[in-house]
Chain A
Amino acid sequence: MSQHDPTLADDAASDIANQELSVEDVARMQRDTPDAEDQQPKAPSDAPAPIPPIHPPPLLKRPVSGRYRGRLGGFEVELRVDVDRLRPLKRVSGDFFLTAGATKSYFGSFVVHAPTITVAPDLVTIDGLGEYTYATGAPKLRITIPRVIVLNPPADATLRFFTLAHQPGATYLCRFESAFFRTLQIETDRVSDVTSTVFASYHTGSLPSPQPHRTISVAGSLVEAGVEVQVSQASNVIDISGAGNGVWSNAELHASMAQHFSLFKDEPQFKVWEVVAQNHDLHFQGIGLLGIMFDQVGQQRQGCAVFHRLMAGSTPEVLRKQLYTYVHELGHCFNLLHSWQKSLAQPPGVDRPGALSWMNYPQFFTPGGEAAFWNAFPFQFDTEELVHLRHAFRNHVIMGGSNFAVNSALEDPERFNRPIEDHSGLELEIAAPRSFMLGEPVAVELKLRAIDPRGRDVTPYLHPNLALVDVAIQRPGGQITVYRPMIEHCVEPKVVRLEAGSPISETAYIGYGKDGLYFDAPGLYKLRASYTAPDGSPIVSDPIDLRVRSPITAADDEIAELYLGEEQGMLFYLAGSDSPSLKHGNAALDLVLDKHADHPLAVYARLQKGFNLGREFKTIEPNRAKVSVRKPATEESQELLAGIGGARTEEIAARTAVYETAMATLGTSSRTREVATAGASGERRSRGSRT
């Protein structure tokens, strides 16, 4: 079983995935299928037909469409087969999950848009070439599902992968799980100033509309799309005071969601909060807002709101509008755009202003406008939207789908996403001061704690230098990189018992590494850390924000420029150095002390110089094979470090304390640690930990 590609039985066939294909290759693949193992229906004989015996009518066979689940090695697959049942789309898709230690994380997805479906009396066979979110060595697949009578339980599906050369890859035996393709949990809350009834159901025959007429609810509309809906019983009435002046802004709605959505988590999940409110800011700008998907911050699309201001009452027209709005907003939560704006998607779709869909606006319907829309609207999503709901890659449809990896430069963007399941009993936290001035060295604190009361075994090395903890940094423009220390330290593996209530922590400078300077521009950064536990479980922290502030004064600007250099970054990383190769960096720090001795940021130059002078420093002289040793310049060191307390403002004290601790971690002398007092003051720090 491959450890890296869930479609391969082993890793040997993965090279084939790099071949370039011609149109002849693709046509041949569509004609060829893997060696048939199954019986095809036989052609009828030419012999005279005997008098047919009378047989009882055949029992109905079960549909095969739905959701299946299988496991092989460390991989789990959720398979979706869509070839019969309501509005079959003749597609199959799936999501892979990887089990590592005590965690299960999303690995990737696949879809087959145009499979070949062969239906025999006793077997359904589905063949196709998949599209994947990752590079796979075995992109072809075959699914076989025995046909059973309705009196029998659903049959298992066998999912086999093949290389392009028809070599067998991995095989999964998948148990039938559900007739639905997805499952969504909805929590609906109402704001206290909404006096009209929260929508329950509407009969589509109440006003002119196409057949079949039926009574449908919000949940029912999604069921018709193949999405199972679980309605949360934790339904609250939210006090209107959360909206300040009784009118909601998007920011207030988001804050209310964080407070009231009992299923809320800052991670992807098929869970959504729908709040029924009365008034929105836009109403008072003359805009007739019926509803809004307001959650466009952080892990997005987890919440939406409908506004009864323009939908009060119980007439058929009002109920129809309510049903439409409630479902329309949920469509946005599933990442569906308006019908006439599909070209705004990434990648762009085709605009469909004439779509008879929940996602169109009746008044924008072309041709014919509102009346024409309602006369023809079947109260459904259109086919393309159904494909998205049922078969889109997981992160394109799930609420909160990986926002952290947008524009990511990560090779493995899933590495810093929260596992789907986590039984590791461990929690990782990353913390840092909320803001830094441009040029300040950025240091973070990493803390690992056992949340299992019995404790957990851990390798107690949290410093990124020791390669068990990675820190992902999202820059203001959205680019994400992983901090790579200049020097990786190899340590003897050691496992210790981490008891609950006794966390371990480490402070690390991460401003400079193999990729250069990581915080060399003003703006908002996001950090997230990942630790690998001894059993392989990835322990991922919550993300934290960190702002690098622009220089305000000319002195701020000059110091930032003096600190933001490659050599200076190396000096911050090494806590100072006598190395001649870093003389320009040292000269820059000297200039800070000469010209800006009283500036708050000068404290870092003092720390650098003071720490370095306070320790012994060995230099190998070139061409002489001799080691010269500079003894600690204790008086100079003390003079520099003693000046820190006065020069350090309260504002900067906490940040320098973190950096001092990071430098101390690098093994500076105990004497210098005594001299440099780390007095953290009350500046609030940004903390991110999983709960």
Chain B
Amino acid sequence: MQVHVAFQDGFANDEVVIRVNGREVIRETSLSGRDPLVPVAAVRQVEIEPAAATMRVDVPTRGLSRSFDVNFRESPYLGVAIVGDKIMLRRSSRPFEYA
């Protein structure tokens, strides 16, 4: 199924790798926010199976890693952010909106 991943706030020239059940599905380099008032750096779509899995997010440029259990069917829209020194995952059943 198609999953939408938004790299939201907190990125500054970062490399980000996302793996689902150990398989790399997204790799971003030089990821930076464009505008603090529009907290999204990039948006990607990726085909992911199965519907529920463990998603691991690594930010090698910051030495950060975190794993999340995700039900992609319930939350096909995911927002990845760096808040302080933690990776945060926001989940939504519908597209993220920014104002």
Contacts and interface: CB of A to CB of B under 8 A. Distances in A.
B95 A288 contact: yes
Contacts of B97: 288-290, 310, 321, 361, 363
A290 B43 contact: no
Contacts of A293: 37
Counting chain B CB atoms within 10 Å of each CB, the highest count among A344, A353, A361, A363 belongs to: A363
Contact of A340 (B45, B83, B96): B83
Nearest to B36: A344
Contacts of A341: 9, 36, 39
Contacts of B39: 338, 341
A370 B40 contact: no
Contacts of B95: 288
A328 B43 contact: no
Interface string A310-338: 10000000000100110011001000011
A287 B43 contact: yes
B83 to A, nearest CB: 7
Given A363-B90, A363-B92, A337 B36 contact: yes
B36 A369 contact: no
Summarize B's interface: helix, strand, loop or mixed: strand
Interface residues of B, number: 21
Contact of B43 (A285, A340, A351, A353): A285
A291 interface: yes
A288 B38 contact: no
A344 to B, nearest CB: 6
A287 B92 contact: no
A134 interface: no
A363 B99 contact: no
A353 B83 CA distance: 11
Given A286-B43, A341-B9, A370 B99 contact: no
A292 interface: yes
B40 A287 contact: yes
Interface string A284-314: 0111111111001000000000000010000
A310 B83 CA distance: 27
Contacts of A328: 99
A321 B94 CA distance: 14
Contact of A361 (B4, B36, B99): B99
A288 B96 contact: yes
Nearest to A329: B99
Nearest to A286: B43
Given A282-B38, A369-B92, A292 B43 contact: no
9 contacts: A288-B97, A289-B97, A290-B99, A325-B99, A329-B99, A337-B36, A338-B39, A361-B99, A364-B79
Leading 9 A-B pairs by shortest Cβ distance: A286-B43, A288-B97, A290-B99, A291-B99, A328-B99, A288-B95, A325-B99, A290-B97, A363-B92
